Copies of this chain bind each other. A is one copy, B any other.
Amino acid sequence: MLDSYPKDLGAIDKSKLGECIKACLECGQACTACADACLSEDMVAELTKCIRTNLDCADICLSTGSVLSRHTGYDANVTRGALQSCAAVCKACADECETHADMHGHCRVCAQSCRRCEQACNDLIAALG
């Protein structure tokens, strides 16, 4: 869709932007699914912090993916704030999921998705200047 935007995208790094949108959507879905998989584990009582962080991460990743998908009337402060918030929650969720990665495959996959999204957000923040 990025290539079909009718106006100039400005100085933004289109490749980094596309990667970050994709990372946000994938991480949002991974976190929704990881929260649900945790909920289905017999040891759910030990995974409540993981579920909560998953849910926050899903919400913020999806809203950040939507903000990044808009280019009309661009405002760097809004985009930067959304990216910083997304990087923070992805870091928190990756940190938490990593502590369960040995035991639960969904936490391992989700942690990787969160790290990729954290990195993509930080790369894009750096590219914004």
Interface of A: prevailing SS? helix
Encoded as 1 (CB less than 8 Å from any B CB) or 0, chain A from 45 to 81 comes to 1001111110110111011011101111101011011
Oligomeric state, in copies: 4
> Does B36 lie within 8 Å of A110, measured CB to CB?
no
Task: Knowing A32-B69, A48-B44, A88-B77, say if A62 contacts B60 (CB, 8 Å).
Answer: no
Please indicate which of the listed interface residues A48, A77, A80 has the most CB atoms of chain B within 10 Å of its own CB.
A48
**What bracket does the count of chain A residues touching chain B fall in?**
35 or more
Q: Is A34 an interface residue (CB 8 A)?
A: yes
CB contacts under 8 Å to B, within A73-114, are 73, 75, 77-78, 80-82, 84-85, 87-89, 91-92, 96, 104-106, 108-110
Among B67, B89, B109, contact of A4 (Cβ-Cβ < 8 Å): B109
> Does B73 lie within 8 Å of A2, measured CB to CB?
no
A-B contact pairs, 20 of them (CB 8 A): A2-B33, A3-B105, A4-B37, A7-B40, A25-B25, A32-B65, A36-B69, A36-B70, A39-B48, A39-B52, A42-B45, A44-B45, A49-B73, A53-B73, A53-B78, A63-B63, A77-B88, A78-B88, A78-B89, A85-B85
